[in-house]
Amino acid sequence: MEKPTKAEQAAGYTFNDSSLLSQALSHSSFAEEKRGGRKFSNERLEFLGDAIIGFLVGKAVYTHFPEEDEGVLSRLKAHWVSTSALAVISEEAGVRDALMMGAGEEKSGGGGNPRNLAGALEAFLAAIYLDGGMAAAEKFVSRFWDEKIGREGTGVLRLDSKTLLQEKLQLRFKEIPEYLVEEDGSEFLATVRFRGKNLGNGRGNSKKKAEQEAAARALENDSFDHE
């Protein structure tokens, strides 16, 4: 039997099918340069991993916070599956150091790009799922998320929604959202937009409350994480 790779050791999982591990760690730029085309990259695994992480982290949040309502649970899940959170965990799980990229992507700093790291982590989890089943995937999520979720609690939501949304967009895209606000009788209606796309809507008895509600909806929808 081959010795586990550093990524496998850090993740606490040894693959039966090493080709799944190799594909999970192949960025599209590497696949195009070294493996014969983009179809050999981790992009399809990333698609599957996104769904698996959403389900398992959602389950963990639901279990940790039995007294919280749907809105709080949605915001907590959005935080723990965000690009920035996944990028941090990718380093802890050994994925960042093992990720293979093309020369151009590497030279441009792709190894530190949160989006690349988050995508690789999603692909890595999908590979674990395909190789070892849902029990193995859940064990991985428990290893890298459970303690953080329990320790941080709802404290991760202390920042107001507008600030949290702006920080996430600045981290990933180096841009900030815009808010469109209209008065509707005694209420204000707000829409938060980013790159021409509506991310969320809100209403309130003040402009500030309407904007906060719109930002909260954007965080719950998490649509900006799939631009």
Q: Annotated catalytic, 122?
A: yes
DSSP state of 5: P
Residue 213's nearest CA partner among 227, 224, 199, 196 is 199
- 8, 32, 46, 50: which is the annotated catalytic residue? 50
Residue 166's nearest CA partner among 155, 175, 158 is 175
Report helix, strand or coil for 3. Answer: coil
Cα distance between residue 181 and residue 188, in whole Å: 7
Q: Please state the φ and ψ torsions of residue 182, each to the nearest 5 degrees.
A: -125, 150
Cα distance between residue 150 and residue 125, in whole Å: 21
3-state SS of the chain: helix, strand, coil percent to 5?
70, 10, 20
Residue 141's nearest CA partner among 75, 85, 78, 57 is 57
- 8, 46, 105, 122: which is the annotated catalytic residue? 122
Cα distance between residue 6 and residue 25, in whole Å: 12
The catalytic residues are 50, 122
